[in-house]
Amino acid sequence: MGIYIKESIKNSKILGKVKKMIQLIPVIIKIYILYAFIFGVVIFAFYKHNVSNYRETHPVDRFWGKGLGQDRVALVEDRYESGLARINLIENAQETIDISYYTIEKGVSADIFWGSIINAADKGVKVRVLLDGIFHNLKDDMKDIIYVCYNHPNIQLKLYEPLNVFKPWTWNNRLHDKIIIVDNELAMIGGRNIGDRYFTKEENGELVTNDRDVVILNTKKENISNSVIGEMKEYFNKTWNCKFSKLPLKRIRKGQKKKGEEKAKWLKNYISKLKETEEEMFNHPFDWREISYPTNKVTLIHNPIERFNKEPWCWYDITNLGKAAEKSIFIQSPYIVPTNKMLKHINIKNDLPEKADILTNSLTTNPNLMGTAGTMLRRKDVVDAGINLYEYQGTESIHAKSYIFDERVSLVGSFNVDGRSAYLSTETMVVIDGEEFAEHFKEEIKNQIDQSLMVGKDYSYIEDPNIEAKKPTVLKMIIIKFLSILAYFFDFMI
């Protein structure tokens, strides 16, 4: 009986401790949320970035070339064509492929992308793939891709700044680049991620995103020192070898190895069947020399590779080009959210040329709710500065990030006009000095301008009988109004 009583007392004490621990869980969660908010959000409002001599050592006149340059550039606008272009680049690689992407969304495009990479690696091509460490989407059944890469002797995979729940200040150090470099000869850069909505032929009532890439051809493959491809490879190597880029696996278990083998086999069979049913996808001819334009010079710009707030190298160069422009400037971004800190580097009323145009999504076409809320806050300021603001009214969204200065210098890449691109993420753009390319580029952009409405001085649309203003749903308006409050205080995170 005494033993029974002692056991009961002992068990009741254990239960008491368990109850106390359970009661502590909500407290621990609240403390963690507060910790994450302070060190994952608030700290970025106060942390001052490093200041270097970048502006002194990188003058704006370095972007203009004299005479004919070594690089030719092709513009890739069409969604379906851009997917075929990626297949073409990977299939025709002879020695190396370096790939850097923010996200690869699950779907047909991802399967074709990975299957093409495996086939190239099987031929002896050395492939390196660097993906963002949080938004890579290698989860669920796509997680087997990690095992595929580990198994293959010619494929290396790294993740840039993988999620660390104990270090919330690392959550904003995101890899936003979209780059493919093939051998020493070809490179693609732009705003597209890998996903069906970026490459679909038809809309089919689903989310469709229009974007833009450029393909750069080094006309002297044996010499990359005078080609922007040399700069791109150097940047990729720095990012690949930096301390933030990690191998997703240090060792592989037997079961994982088998899953990788099965996934690789499935992807190769999938590509093999597609080649029979969709032959044009894999035999689509791209004569890059024929469809490209000559340039005087092509230059890569990028942000520094570091944590916390970065020195805004890309924004320095973009604003310097804006100040140097004498006749005109065109800007396209999915959303326009320049923070007060960004605007310290340029006076949008005085530093821009007389003709300044901005093309962005309308409230209806922009799927990024936070970006839309931030844009709505800055919309009045843009119009008041005398800038011609065009808002896209098409059935899709536009995701391209591009600039044209004085109808001569063009920029294409990953940089959005927002605080995140300026200070937080890795970003890359190519600066293309070439009047012939800029003229062609401008004509392509006109197709989207023609589906847009200009915002008048009273902040309402100037009527156009050929374009119907899209009306957002009541629910979206309510959400945007709520998010605008958050965007006002946390625009540096958008």
29-73 pLDDT tens trace: 999 999 999 999 999 999 999 999 999 999 999 999 999 999 999
pLDDT at residue number 340? 93
pLDDT at site 204: 62
What averages of pLDDT result for each successive group of 10 residues across the chain (494 residues)?
Answer: 54 69 86 95 93 95 94 97 96 97 96 97 98 96 95 98 96 97 97 95 78 97 92 98 96 94 97 91 90 98 96 98 96 96 89 93 94 94 94 94 97 97 98 97 94 96 93 93 92 91
Tokens 């210098």: give the residue: 409
The residues with which 156 forms a beta bridge, in sequence order, are: 128
- Cα angle: 90, vertex 428, 83; to 5 degrees: 30
- Does the model's pTM come out above 0.85? yes
Which is it for the CA torsion 234, 236, 242, 248, positive or negative? negative
Q: Give Cβ neighbours of residue 469 (< 8 Å, ≥ 6 apart).
A: 362, 393, 453, 461
> Would you state the pLDDT for residue 207?
79
Q: In the prediction, which pLDDT does 232 show?
A: 98
Cα dist. 275→113, 117, 235, 266, 335 in Å?
14, 15, 34, 14, 38
Residues 357-373 have pLDDT tens digits of 999 999 999 999 999 99
What pLDDT sits at residue 21?
78
Write out the two tokens for 292.
């490209």
For residue 82, give both structure tokens: 């851009």
Instruction: Please choose, from the candidates 432, 466, 436, 433, the residue with its C-alpha nearest in 3D space to the C-alpha of residue 449.
Output: 466
Rounded to whole angstroms, the Cα distance separating 129 from 106 reads: 17
pLDDT of residue 20: 76
